[in-house]
């Protein structure tokens, strides 16, 4: 499991992560990867990517699915466009996640992850049962590839997530905990949420944010790590308390400003490195 190796969210040709080279330049030993476009998900490109990782001595810890047509412009748009929730694209996106799972296997990685989208609150509704079923199908496919499926947090409260995991009933369904998302979406105080769902958390994002003045209606604001309302030291202490020792994956989504993005990720590495020695002693 490692001992809180630093990580960073990266991308090849799709998604908002930084380039692999940025991780290498900053000496970051692990990455999560946004799944590349379909045309890039070939055995040849998997082999090339693996060779590059080996050369840079970087370990891949998870592959995140994302889809054409998703937009995080505002909360209602997320509800309409993100993940496996929108009905019109559900079947094709499930199929794409299966393909991403297969590609992830070629990369020798045992975790796929995604934002499911806004799970309906009425657990008796058809829409809720449909998303439970589609999640089971994804988990079962991943299981055949010896993988876990990690749900990115944000769109649900801790209680709703726990109920959802209980309804899906798949051992390989876990959580990628993103503390800033709880604040940005206004779904709950992140430390409290982490304590509640701790035993299901198998990967994490290190991201910070400030609350909106209308939580759940408008976005909070993503800010550099340590400058928001997560409380990073308390975050690490809580991760220690729940027994989490996996990578600390930094996520900073400002791809339109690559220089600033790199500088801020560098500062985040420094902050996490120092807090890690303080907390682990």
Q: Applying CB under 5 A, which residues contact Mg ion? A: 178, 205, 251
- Do the Cβ atoms of 269 and 26 come closer than 8 Å? yes
- In the complex, which residue's CB is closest to Mg ion? 178
Nearer to Mg ion, 125 or 216 (CB): 216
Tokens, residue 143: 């299981």
**Residue 134: CA atoms inside 13 Å, Cβ hemisphere, count?**
23
The least CB distance from residue 115 to Mg ion, in Å, is 8
Beta-carbon contacts of residue 46 (< 8 Å; ≥ 6 apart):
103, 106, 107
The least CB distance from residue 12 to Mg ion, in Å, is 18
Rounded distance between C-alpha atoms, residue 231 and residue 164, angstroms: 27
Nearer to Mg ion, 105 or 205 (CB): 205
The least CB distance from residue 152 to Mg ion, in Å, is 5
Report DSSP letters for 147-191, one per residue.
-EEEEEPSSS-HHHHHHHHHHH--TTEEEEE-HHHHHHTT---HH
CA 180, 184, 190, 196 torsion: positive or negative? negative
CA nearest neighbour of 208 among 185, 233, 180: 180
DSSP character for 26? T
Nearer to Mg ion, 46 or 269 (CB): 269
Report DSSP letters for 50-76, one per residue.
HHHHHHHT-EEEEEE---TT---SSHH
Q: Radius of gyration of the chain from Cα atoms?
A: 18
Nearer to Mg ion, 46 or 249 (CB): 249
Nearer to Mg ion, 46 or 114 (CB): 114
The least CB distance from residue 252 to Mg ion, in Å, is 10
Q: Report residue 215: phi and psi, to 5°.
A: -55, 135
The least CB distance from residue 44 to Mg ion, in Å, is 29
The least CB distance from residue 181 to Mg ion, in Å, is 6
Nearer to Mg ion, 98 or 150 (CB): 150
> 63: which strand partners?
33, 112
Tokens, residue 246: 């996996």
């Amino acid at each position: 499991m490692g001992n809180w190796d630093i990580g960073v969210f990266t991308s090849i040709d799709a998604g908002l992560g930084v380039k692999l080279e940025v991780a290498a330049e900053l000496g970051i030993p692990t990455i999560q990867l946004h799944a590349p476009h379909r045309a890039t998900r070939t055995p040849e490109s998997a082999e090339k990517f693996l060779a590059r990782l080996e050369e840079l001595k970087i370990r891949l810890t998870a592959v995140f699915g994302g889809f054409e047509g998703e937009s995080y412009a505002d909360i209602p748009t997320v509800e309409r466009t993100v993940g496996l929730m929108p009905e019109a694209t559900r079947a094709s996106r499930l199929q794409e996640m299966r393909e991403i799972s297969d590609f992830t296997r070629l990369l020798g990685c045992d975790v796929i992850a995604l934002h499911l989208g806004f799970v309906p609150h009425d657990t008796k509704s058809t829409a809720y049962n449909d998303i439970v079923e589609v999640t089971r199908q994804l988990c079962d496919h991943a299981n055949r590839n010896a993988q876990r499926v990690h749900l990115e947090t944000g769109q649900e409260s801790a209680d709703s997530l726990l109920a959802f995991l209980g309804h899906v009933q798949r051992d390989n369904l876990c959580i990628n905990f993103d503390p800033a998302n709880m604040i940005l979406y206004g779904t709950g105080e992140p430390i409290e949420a982490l304590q509640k769902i701790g035993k299901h958390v198998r990967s994490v994002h290190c991201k910070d944010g400030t609350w909106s003045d209308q939580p759940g209606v408008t976005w909070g604001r993503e800010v550099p790590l340590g400058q928001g309302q997560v409380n990073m030291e308390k975050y690490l202490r809580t991760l220690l308390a729940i027994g989490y020792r996996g990578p600390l994956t930094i996520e900073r989504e400002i791809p339109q400003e690559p220089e600033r993005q790199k500088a801020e990720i560098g500062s985040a590495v420094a902050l996490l490195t120092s807090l890690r020695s303080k907390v682990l002693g």
